[in-house]
Amino acid sequence: MSDDTSPAQPVLPPPEIIPAKPVPAGLTPYTEQSTTILLPDDNSAFLNPVQQFNRDLSIACISTWGKIWKEEVRAELEAKGKGKGKKRGKPAAAAAIEVEAGTETSETPVATTTTATVEEPSKRQHNDREFVILEALSATGLRAIRYAKEIPGVKYVIANDFSPTAVEAMKRNVSYNDLDPSDKGPTPGTQTEIEAKEKNNWKGKVRVNEGDAIALMYNHRKSKVDCVDLDPYGTAAPFLDGAIQATADGGLLCVTCTDMAVTAGSNYPEKCFANYGGVSAKAVYSHEIAVRLLLNTCSGIAARYGRYIVPQLSLSIDFYMRVFFRVYSSPFEVKRVFSKTGTVYVCAGCQAYTIQPFGRVVETDKGRGMNYAFKNHQGPPTGPRCSECGAVHHLAGPLWIGPIHDKTFCQKVLDHVYANEDKFGTVARMKGMVTMAKEELETPFYLDPAYLSGMFHCTSPSTSDIGSAILHAGYDVSRTHASSGALKTNAPMSFILDLYRVFIKEKAPVKMENIKPNSPAAKLLAIEPTATINFTRHPDLTKHISQARLVRFQSNPRPNWGPAGKARNSKVEEGEARGDKNQKRKAEVEIKNRELKQARKEFHQAARAKGLAIQSAERAKSGSPSVEIPSGSASASGSDAVVAEVEAEQVSEEDAMNG
């Protein structure tokens, strides 16, 4: 099947970019858009250059969310100004503090003096509302610095890392980009008492913190931040609980996980369950299963605290997944969460899937308003074997079965990207991926025509043939961002298999001798099609399957392209920073054991030599000839006694060390 998308060009900046400032010895400059950072030559700070797309996309998404968030804050403050606040008359300081609700941290002072009253927030307060970003695992600080320089409306960015070496690199890079603390501070046009105090306590646009990421986020459970970014090495699972609690209502949480080997397949179900509370399955749509596992984990954590998530954009990208979702508090909406969670039965043969939701919401109009009842879902939705090909099912989940994208948000991200094309190094791929996400059907999972063609041993139908047949039958169809050539549709699998049966009969006959008698293909071809299939090109095909040559999958931009390794010294530094006495003791014991082993060997040799010398002296006194006695013989009793004495000393030394 032909794919109408074009391959991407390398997305990384040329390495010969020369920074504007001099570079100290032992450091290498790396430039990405507005930011140049200095990397140690010993690789002691972690940076993955191929994730520039991740950083570019994050800047676009946070900028878009920031605009939406400011409008929501403005509307909320205006509503408060026209309501209770207008009648009672609030002090100006209280109003100003209210403006900053959700962005204050323990680092930011709050003034409480002044008695002037206001009836509603001013336009200046609406426009000046700024938000705080927390990057829990910042490494070199590149992402945090770019956020501070390129995202409008950022008050400051908290850049945290556990590694002392990484923190040192961050401070150096923040200073190199002129974002470190200074006595200047913000310079607002009209300076109130609160703003003056903030100016005097200005700590910089990027505030570097050395500490445990989980502890830092738990410390922000009360003084929540507006946006939290998690981009760890591997899974983000250990950090999700703290991140969700630290995110303010309406705030944005951005999460990266690079453990696709665990979440997209069936190789490590035990590890997948340990991290995400669910299992994946071997399927052509396993990358979407991975994304939905992550979203369900986040949804479940949020529900424990009376909160719920609203996915904005959720992508499977190369070797990792990146999701953006908003966090809200609502006891009523939390009740709906179980209806957006379920398991999926995956056919091992034809890849047909059946979804089993956990619950359902029954809405009844009582005349005076809607009544909601929350009930268990009925099941099982399928038998022990696939109703189409007879193969066994594999179970995956629990996972998120609700929408994974917000189409309105995706369109606003695209608007931002098109308006700022010169600010992104991966603009072509950003347009392609977000456009695909916006056009995707909300139906979970997708079909892979290439897989089905391989199963039937036939040539692959074109995208036009498949899309037109689906549309003529009254179903919908779209592309998917997660896999090249794959399609999403709300048509049942029985219709898709009928489509292939008719295609094989009319356009691409297969040799039945090449198909094993009891294979899924043989069973499926033995069934006569019942659906009416029309391969004539549908007039609305391009509205559903865009023919634009969009860039979605980049070519390898560098040799050895893919997930980067950890910073070289990270484990040693983490052990030292934690004051891990057990780890230190283990290393000391290992060194001591090696020394004792060598000493034991030397003592054995010396003892045997001493024993032989004693025996030779005794023989010389008695007039017997001197004979060399093998050390392992029974007559070397003198040497054995010495050895036993030495070993006893060694045992006492080891006991003293281990005790």
Per-domain residue ranges of the chain? 11-329, 446-548, 581-658
Residue type (1 letter), 52: Q
Query: What pLDDT, on the 0 to 100 scale, is given for residue 595?
Result: 77
Which residues of the chain carry a pLDDT beneath 70? Answer: 1-20, 42-46, 82-128, 182-202, 547-549, 552-585, 587, 623-659
Of 348, 428, 362, give the one whose Cα is nearest residue 390. 348
The reported pTM is: 0.76
- What's the burial of 355, exposed, middle or buried (CB within 10 Å: 0-12/13-18/19+)? middle
CB contact at 8 A, 431 and 551: yes
Of 158, 129, 120, give the one whose Cα is nearest residue 67. 129
Give the CATH fold of the 11-329 domain. Answer: Rossmann fold (3.40.50)
Query: What pLDDT, on the 0 to 100 scale, is given for residue 122?
Result: 44
Query: What pLDDT, on the 0 to 100 scale, is given for residue 566?
Result: 55
Does residue 562 come out as left (phi exceeding 0), alpha (psi in the -120 to 50 range) or beta? left
Condensed to tens digits (0 to 9), the pLDDT of residues 260-296 reads 999 998 999 999 999 999 999 999 999 999 999 999 9
Tell me what the pLDDT averaged over the chain comes to.
Answer: 82
Give CA–CA dist 71/67, Å, rounded.
6
Query: What pLDDT, on the 0 to 100 scale, is given for residue 2?
Result: 42
**Mapping DSSP to helix (H, G, I), strand (E, B) and coil, where does residue 119 land?**
coil
Query: What pLDDT, on the 0 to 100 scale, is given for residue 108?
Result: 38
The two tokens of residue 180 are 């470190």
Q: Give me the phi and psi of 618, to 5 degrees please.
A: -65, -40
Of 611, 592, 594, give the one whose Cα is nearest residue 656. 592
Condensed to tens digits (0 to 9), the pLDDT of residues 516-558 reads 888 889 999 999 999 999 999 999 999 998 766 677 665 555 5
Q: Give me the phi and psi of 174, to 5 degrees please.
A: -65, -45
- What's the burial of 200, exposed, middle or buried (CB within 10 Å: 0-12/13-18/19+)? exposed
Q: Which residues contact 596 (CB under 8 A, 6 or more apart)?
A: 650, 653, 654
Q: Are strands 225-230 and 247-257 parallel, antiparallel or unpaired?
A: parallel
Query: What pLDDT, on the 0 to 100 scale, is given for residue 477?
Result: 97
